[in-house]
């Protein structure tokens, strides 16, 4: 899932400067799970904005809504009547959700309330770790199911660097060395031989090196007729 | 005097400056640079040494610049943001200055997917405007980015590129202004074929007073053939080649001669535009023609200071 965390209240207030009516829009998916932008956070932040407005005499009106998913147009369209009433949407979704809202409502300014951080997983209550670098060319079959692109500070592909000590990364002793974890995992899986293969330079084309990525499933695309029929049903 | 380079001194004297370009070889053999430098010496005031142009691996611009210096020719070292982060950029500037390179051109660089290393991971830690900010700070404030003092600051005259032909057109002069604000001492433009558009660009630049803050050099490329003209029109992004020029090349008995004539006419035209302080001639893989172009444009002899 996508992990994000809320911007500081001060930054959010600064970014809203000049607006009078604000819709705080949350998202019930990833950012709700990482306690950054779900229904509860929308309520707390909206209240904080109202108090700030009262204290500063700003006369803000602050509305609240939480979408099922802010990254999908079907869900986002539903808030059109609410967006029409405001001059700014404060999105508590990840960057994908915030951009989807802006695309659908191009004449209303969308301000991000979160910093989108990474693709990760909840480790334990209150702790989320990055797991995937989204490089578009998965190597987990070679690395014991541990991603060296996301989890090694140098994204190395041929084993731990000289800074690995007692299973810890040289960059931060609180971080496990990804390659130590890969080694232990391959040992458990009886595939340590993989550590002996030299992995050649990787292609970064499916990663960040060719502009925004696009995946298209020709078999799933709707024809123009089907699109019209679908709109009719909606 | 910021760096004391030849082109800086010429600009300061109000001379119309001429620069050329030498493409480093895809080889470790320095002879092609040495030959070009000997052949071209005296026909331009400095020469750009491109930095892995079109993202094809070539001899480094720093090494190529030093080879030029050894031949007594002033280099303008190009440095792209594609291949190096801020650590490498600052380190290369310190090294270049130590070796006597006195001009550096800051560039984003062609994307690696156009070259022979398409699978590489690009860097783009900084953009070309941030690069200018950082390198100027090293020179003028003796600081490495952050706040570390440099005992002996690099001496460098800083250049930047500008493309009046990319879109949105209305933003192009704003981007030029940002480069000036970030530290550009001189500007070399993308190859100009569409004079009308360039005139509009310069008019807007003048209305902002930019022609008095930075030395703008107009870029020209001699057309070698009809195919080259069509290629630049259709395949090179951010370049406009008017149909009238394509027609001229099409109808020419000797297309090479016609290409040179067009280039010379363009330089004559550029000389009349207020705020153009020089011309940057890019004879892509046709370096030997540079002396003829400069001579026919009436720009010889080059002033010696």
> Which tokens belong to B275?
């705020």
B141-198 pLDDT tens trace: 999 999 999 999 999 999 999 999 998 998 999 999 999 999 999 999 999 999 999 9
> pLDDT over 70 for what percent of chain B?
100
The interface pTM score, or ipTM, of the predicted complex is: 0.88
Q: pTM here?
A: 0.93
What is the DSSP track for A166-186?
Answer: TTB-SS-TTSBPHHHHHHHHH
- pLDDT tens per residue across span B60-76: 999 999 999 999 999 99
pLDDT on residue B4:
97
- Residues B243, B246, B248, B250: is their CA dihedral positive or negative? negative
Does position A234 have pLDDT exceeding 90, yes or no? no
Contacts of B122 in chain A (CB under 8 A): 204, 208-209
Q: Label residue B257 exposed, middle or buried (CB < 10 Å: 0-12, 13-18, 19+).
A: exposed
Answer whether B134's CB lies under 8 Å from B142's CB.
Answer: no
Chain B: closest CA distance from residue A135 (Å) = 11
Token pair 């100027």 is at which residue? B136
Contact assessment for residue A116 and residue A2, using Cβ atoms and an 8 Å cutoff: yes
Give residues 195 to 214 of A whose Cβ lies within 8 Å of B. Answer: 201-205, 207-210
φ and ψ at B45, to 5 degrees? -85, -20
8 Å CB contact of B121 and A209: yes
Does B108 lie at the interface with A, CB-CB under 8 angstroms?
no
Mutate to test the interface with B, among A205, A208, A211 (most CBs of B within 10 A): A205
Please report, for chain B, how many H helices and E strands are present, in that order.
Answer: 11, 8
Share of chain A above pLDDT 90, in %: 91
A156: contact with B, CB 8 A cutoff = no
| DSSP character at residue B256 | H
Comparing C-alpha atoms, which of B130, B123, B204 is closest to residue B160? B130
Look at chain B and count its residues: 305
Predicted pLDDT of residue B109: 95
Above 90 in pLDDT, residue A209? no
Q: How far apart are CA B83 and CA B49, in angstroms?
A: 16
Give the C-alpha separation, A94 to A88, whole Å. Answer: 17
Which residues from chain B sit within 8 angstroms of residue A207, using beta carbons? Answer: 121
Cα distances from B290 to residues A174, B122, B216, in angstroms, run 60, 33, 20
Decide if B116 touches A, using CB distance below 8 A: no
d(CA A78, CA A70): 11
Q: Do A118 and A150 meet the contact criterion of CB atoms below 8 Å apart?
A: yes
E strands present in A7-126: 21-27, 61-67, 88-91, 109-112, 114-124
Beta carbons of B127 and B98 less than 8 angstroms apart = no
From chain A, pick out residues whose CB is under 8 angstroms from the CB of B113: 205, 209-210
- Residues with Cβ within 8 Å of B238's Cβ and at least 6 positions away in sequence, in order, are B163, B165, B166, B190
What average pLDDT does the segment B9-38 reach? 97
Residue B58's SS3 state is coil
Q: What is the DSSP letter of A50?
A: H
What's B131-168 look like in SS3?
Answer: HHHHHHHHHHHCECCCCCECCCCCCCEEEEEECCCCCC
Of B239, B241, B240, B259, the residue nearest B249 (C-alpha) = B259
Residues within 8 A of A (CB atoms), B 120-139 only: 120-122
The CA radius of gyration of chain A, in Å to the nearest whole number, is 22
User: B121, B122, B125: best mutation site toward chain A, by most A Cβ within 10 Å?
Assistant: B121
Burial of A232 (0-12, 13-18, 19+ CB in 10 A): exposed
Contact B113 A208 (CB under 8 A): no
């Amino acid at each position: 899932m996508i992990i994000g965390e809320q911007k500081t209240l001060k930054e959010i207030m600064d970014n809203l400067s000049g607006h009078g009516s604000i819709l705080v829009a949350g998202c019930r998916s990833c950012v709700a799970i990482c306690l950054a932008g779900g229904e509860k956070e929308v309520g707390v932040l909206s209240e904080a904005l109202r108090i700030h407005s009262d204290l500063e005499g700003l006369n803000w009106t602050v509305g609240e809504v939480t979408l099922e998913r802010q990254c999908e147009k079907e869900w986002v369209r539903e808030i059109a009547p609410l967006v029409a009433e405001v001059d700014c949407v404060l999105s508590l979704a990840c960057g994908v959700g915030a951009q989807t809202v802006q695309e659908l409502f191009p004449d209303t300014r969308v301000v991000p309330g979160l910093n989108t951080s990474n693709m990760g997983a909840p480790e334990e209550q209150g702790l989320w770790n990055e797991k995937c670098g989204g490089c578009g060319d998965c190597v987990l079959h070679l690395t014991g199911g541990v991603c060296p692109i996301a989890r090694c500070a140098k994204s190395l592909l041929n084993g731990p660097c000289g800074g690995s000590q007692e299973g810890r990364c040289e960059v931060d002793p609180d971080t496990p060395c990804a390659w130590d974890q890969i080694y232990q995992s391959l040992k458990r899986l009886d595939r340590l031989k993989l550590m002996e293969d030299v992995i050649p330079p990787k292609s970064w084309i499916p990663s960040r090196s060719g502009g925004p990525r696009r995946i298209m499933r020709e078999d799933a695309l709707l024809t123009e007729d089907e699109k019209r029929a679908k709109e009719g049903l909606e | 005097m910021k760096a004391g380079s030849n082109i800086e001194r010429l600009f300061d004297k109000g001379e119309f400056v001429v620069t050329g370009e030498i493409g480093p070889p895809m080889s470790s053999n320095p002879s092609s640079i040495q030959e070009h430098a000997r052949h071209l010496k005296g026909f331009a005031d400095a020469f750009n040494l491109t930095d892995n142009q079109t993202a094809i691996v070539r001899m480094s611009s720093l090494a190529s610049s030093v080879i030029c210096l050894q031949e007594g020719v002033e280099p303008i070292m190009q440095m792209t943001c594609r291949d190096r982060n801020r650590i490498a950029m600052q380190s290369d500037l310190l090294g270049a200055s130590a070796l006597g390179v006195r001009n550096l051109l800051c560039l984003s660089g062609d994307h690696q997917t156009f070259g022979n290393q398409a699978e590489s991971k690009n860097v783009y830690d900084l953009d070309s405007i941030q690069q200018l900010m950082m390198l100027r700070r090293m020179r003028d404030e003796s600081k490495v980015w952050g706040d570390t003092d440099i005992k002996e600051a690099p001496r460098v005259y800083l250049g930047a590129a500008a493309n009046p032909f990319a879109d949105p057109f209305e933003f192009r002069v704003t981007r030029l202004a940002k480069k000036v604000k970030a530290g550009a001492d001189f500007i070399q433009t993308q190859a100009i074929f569409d004079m009308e558009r360039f005139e509009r660009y310069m008019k807007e630049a003048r209305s902002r007073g930019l022609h008095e803050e930075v030395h703008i050099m107009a870029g020209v490329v001699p057309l070698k053939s009809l195919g080259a003209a069509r290629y630049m029109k259709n395949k090179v992004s951010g370049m406009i080649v008017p149909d009238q020029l394509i027609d001229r090349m099409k109808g020419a008995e000797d297309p090479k001669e016609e290409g040179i004539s067009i280039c010379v006419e363009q330089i004559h035209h550029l000389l009349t535009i207020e705020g153009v302080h020089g011309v940057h001639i890019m004879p892509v893989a046709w370096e030997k023609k540079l002396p003829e172009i400069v001579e026919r444009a009436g720009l010889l002899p080059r002033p010696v200071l």
